[in-house]
């Protein structure tokens, strides 16, 4: 059973993973980033961490924060792990450029609420 007291730590894990991703990508464009396989795989790993941490949040927490697409986040983690051979770099780039820019401020706000 997931514990409410662990929600803040999971949120911190998500925030750390997002920051890691932006540090790894830097100011590079997609092509330069994708061509650097080590950085690319480090980013994919951190996206998986985001999904796993989101999955470990309590159901009550997720339900009380419906603005965040928790199922999509955990679904992306599952896709990266189980469908690794089908992952296209443009999907990863979209996560970086669009989805995380929305997710980060949400997670910061949720973290403030829990502390």
95-111 pLDDT, tens digit each? 999 999 999 999 999 99
Domain count, the chain: 1
**Looking up tokens 């419906």, which residue turns up?**
66
Is the confidence at residue 5, as pLDDT, over 80? no
Contact in structure between 114 and 11 (CB atoms under 8 Å): yes
Q: What is the mean pLDDT of the chain?
A: 93
| Domain hosting residue 107, numbered range | 4-114
CA dihedral of 19, 24, 25, 31, whole degrees rounded to 10: -150
* Reported pTM: 0.92
Q: Tell me how far apart the alpha carbons of residues 27 and 48 are, in angstroms, rounded to a whole number.
A: 22
Phi-psi region of 87 (alpha: psi -120 to 50; beta: other; left: phi over 0): beta
pLDDT at 67 over 70: yes
Report d(CA 80, CA 87) in Å as an integer: 7
Q: Residues with catalytic annotation?
A: 77, 82
């Amino acid at each position: 059973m997931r514990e409410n007291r662990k929600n803040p730590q999971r949120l911190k894990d998500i925030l750390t993973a997002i920051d890691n991703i932006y540090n790894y990508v830097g100011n590079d464009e997609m092509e330069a980033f994708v061509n650097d396989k080590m950085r690319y795989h480090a980013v994919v790993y951190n996206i998986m961490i985001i999904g796993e941490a989101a999955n470990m949040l309590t159901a009550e927490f997720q339900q009380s924060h419906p603005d965040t697409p928790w199922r999509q986040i955990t679904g992306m983690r599952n896709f990266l792990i189980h469908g690794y051979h089908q992952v296209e770099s443009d999907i990863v780039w979209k996560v970086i450029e669009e989805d995380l820019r929305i997710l980060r401020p949400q997670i910061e706000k949720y973290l403030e609420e829990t502390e």
